[in-house]
Amino acid sequence: MYRRSCNNYIYKWVVGKKWVKVSNKKAWRISASEDSLWMIDYPEQIPFKFDQATNKFEQKGDLAARWISAGMNGEAFIVDYESKKPHIWRQNTATWTPLSDTYPTMVGLTTSKGGRMYAVDWETDKAFK
């Protein structure tokens, strides 16, 4: 379990102990899945993924993001800061790829354990999948 504190640092719950700071890097948004921890850094709003081997966050691309959601198998979804459109990060391409132009502009998004994406439309505030 992870949390972002009011000072913008990310903490991980260590069972039987306490909240332990993950990094000195500040986060604007965070999202974790069973196999990954993602964040949008503060204040630049660039996506980063935590590398368990090095215990450091690694920058993933240079696309500024409004929202992030950890997906399955190391994937992540973001809402691009400028276009408000969804993009996906896949390990095999190592780049942010726009999903489809048919998606409306988005306020935020999340993904389910099964990989389904849910989002909120920027214009109408209606949720969709």
Domain boundaries, the chain: 2-128
Q: pLDDT band for 64, please (50, 70, 90 cuts).
A: very high
Which pLDDT value is given to residue 129? 67
Which pLDDT value is given to residue 126? 76
Q: Determine the average pLDDT of the residues in 24-36.
A: 93
What fold is seen in the domain 2-128?
Neuraminidase (2.120.10)
Query: Torsion over CA of 24, 91, 78 and 101, rounded to 10 degrees?
Result: 160
Q: Determine the average pLDDT of the residues in 50-76.
A: 92
Query: Contact 36/74 with Cβ under 8 angstroms?
Result: yes
- The model carries a pTM of 0.87
Q: Determine the average pLDDT of the residues in 43-66.
A: 95
Query: Contact 53/44 with Cβ under 8 angstroms?
Result: no
Q: 94-105: per-residue pLDDT in tens?
A: 899 998 777 777
